[in-house]
Chains A and B, each alone.
Chain A
Amino acid sequence: MSAPGNATGSATGNSFIWDRLVPVGSIVLILLLGWCVLTYTMNAPFQRDLNRRAGVTPTAQEFFWQTYSQPKPTMPAPHQVAKNLWKHTFLVKPTSRQSLIYHSGVTISSTLLGFLMGTILGVTIAIGIVHVPALDKSFLPWIIASQTIPMLAVAPMIIVILASIGITGLFPKALISTYLSFFPVAVGMVKGLRSPQIMHLDLMSTYHASKVQTFWKLRLPASVPFFFTSIKVAVAASLVGAIVGELPTGAVAGIGSKLLAGSYYSQTIDIWAALIAGSVVAVLLVTLVDVANGIVTRWMGGRPT
């Protein structure tokens, strides 16, 4: 989804500052301010209760800082989350169970495995649908219908079932990621493989190209832009699948298990830190896809965007 072009076209060098940095920055600033206000208002009732029971009457300023330094706040203060993130990212060993890098690594590995399987499955399905009319008519509606079903709801069941027949670890979680990521790839690739115009297909048939040759020389190259658009969606979906897949594993490892453990023990700061770690991972994965897209586009002779 591209931002709509601004017709004014002020050709000044600082258009990035005025079109991007200032608007986005101010909204982020407003969100941060809102966070600070919420921290005070949401933590205040509990703190007031606490103080009354302890029989202390702090000044307004002391009270304000008390709401910012609760150990298990309803709404953690920004600096608490930042400190938690810093500690669990840089101060502990990356291999320790406390480290967010360790948990992110676990989640990333099942995300990538599921993403890979989902992409292969999606591309295979798309190739089948484009070449076999019966599959197009009978299968495609079910693929679309499968996405109206909340597939994540199946996640705990898949984990438990596979665990009961002795399959544990990475694979069951990856399976859920596969389930979520094959759909955008399949639909995008069907579109992409069908994107060559009739004229191009006619040219292929005047060359007496076989179906296989047409596929490799025309359909596949034409589908590359569609491929990257859809795997960008797929990789984000894979991450969601991996995180949800970690929920029922009894909180062993991964960002999802950090979320669940945090919610069990009301470790709100941990939850927020895990959430931010998950967001960073998401941005990282999407950026990777973008970089790969740029490399492949350049390699195919296209103009990098």
Chain B
Amino acid sequence: MEGQAAMNISCQRCNKSKATVHITDTVPEKRERHLCEDCAEQEGVIIKQKHHTTNEILQQFIKHKVGAAIGLELESISCPQCGTTLKDFQTNGQLGCPHDYVVFRDALMPLIERAHEGATHHVGKVPPTAEPVVRKQTGLVRLRRELQEAVEQENYERAARVRDEIRALESQ
């Protein structure tokens, strides 16, 4: 938190909000100014970062990328299981069935990556009934990432432990 002195100054431009941006101009003359973020942005002193929810990002993304994809051969494809098309997804923001993730994978992957901070692989829980090969695969993805992290952090003890786990899982 900021000091009390700074906390109590109100914006010199609008006189309403609390000044959180403190500037010392040197040209044309030396002077101090105290502005709120909105006024600072209007004066071009700072650029406020716009925040969008994942849903907004998703909607935008569906419009542009999936929209572009629809112009190509994907337009004619509908899921053989549920009949959903990419156009339906574009309209509703929801898919029709689990198989859509197979049929439309190429169109969906960039969107999935974008919505999940670049992630493309699940590393969490696997259904207890899932076949062993799935459990193995998911486990390996997670462990390899842990190995990379451990190496980056120069935690070689942990890296060695993770490497052994990877070998054990690979030989299963």
Q: Do A and B belong to a common assembly?
A: no
**Chain A residues close to B by CB (< 8 Å):** none
**Chain B residues close to A by CB (< 8 Å):** none
